[in-house]
Amino acid sequence: MKIELICIEKTKKNEYRNIIQDYLNRINKKLSFKIKEISFVNPGKYDKKNILNKQVNLIQRYINERDYVVLLDERGKSFSSIDFSKWLNFKISSRDIKCLKFVIGGPYGINKNMNLIHEEISFSKMTFSHQMIRIFFLEQIYRSLKIINNEPYHYE
């Protein structure tokens, strides 16, 4: 099973990049995980609607019909860490899914008309920066893998 995180714009802050790299190293000991960062459409040249449409076109280049695509959005389904680990384990174990792809939109969100989205997940009703949510997401993937493998990390 492969998992990919597709997100708009490169991570800017060194502090964030270091934390992200730490979690990637931990996660990749358990399964194949990659991050695909897509260039942000210059907001000075386009209005919000055009930016959202252009970003969807860029994101769709990295998705094919055999991928299972999950959008991270505050209006999506919420999970506890335990329930998210069960959900992730089910997806990882599925023979029908070759690659599980998560999408984080840019500062303006994402155009919901993207046809390839199978599911939406929320990490909170609050809005987080598209830079910070990467760290939260990776931590929850790592936490889920520890839960799935009955390894110490998560306590209830």
Give the CATH number of the domain where residue 66 resides. Answer: 3.40.1280.10
Asked whether residue 62 is assigned to any structural domain, the reply reads yes
Asked whether residue 67 is assigned to any structural domain, the reply reads yes
Asked whether residue 156 is assigned to any structural domain, the reply reads no
**pLDDT at residue number 50:** 82
Asked whether residue 155 is assigned to any structural domain, the reply reads no
Asked whether residue 116 is assigned to any structural domain, the reply reads yes
**pLDDT at residue number 142:** 97
DSSP 8-state secondary structure symbol assigned to residue 106: B
Full pLDDT tens readout for the chain, 156 residues: 899 999 988 888 999 999 999 999 999 999 999 999 988 767 677 788 888 888 888 888 999 888 999 999 888 999 999 999 999 999 999 988 989 999 998 777 787 766 788 999 998 888 888 889 999 999 999 999 999 999 998 777
Amino acid at 117: I
Asked whether residue 20 is assigned to any structural domain, the reply reads yes
**pLDDT at residue number 74:** 86
Asked whether residue 9 is assigned to any structural domain, the reply reads yes
Looking at the 3D structure of the chain, how many domains does it have?
1
Q: Which of 52, 93, 47, 91 is nearest to 70 (CA)?
A: 91
**pLDDT at residue number 121:** 95
Residue 51 CA to residue 38 CA, distance in Å, equals 13
Q: Give, for 20, the enclosing helix (H) or strand (E).
A: helix 14-27
Q: Is 69 exposed, middle or buried (0-12, 13-18, 19+ CB in 10 A)?
A: buried
**pLDDT at residue number 72:** 92
Q: Which of 148, 77, 103, 107 is nearest to 3 (CA)?
A: 103
Q: Is the pTM of this model over 0.85?
A: yes
Helix, strand, or coil here: 67? strand
Other CB atoms within 10 Å distance of the CB of residue 154: 13
Q: Give, for 48, the enclosing helix (H) or strand (E).
A: helix 48-60
What range does the domain containing 53 cover? 2-148
Asked whether residue 142 is assigned to any structural domain, the reply reads yes
Q: Which of 53, 45, 38 is nearest to 110 (CA)?
A: 53
Helix, strand, or coil here: 35? strand
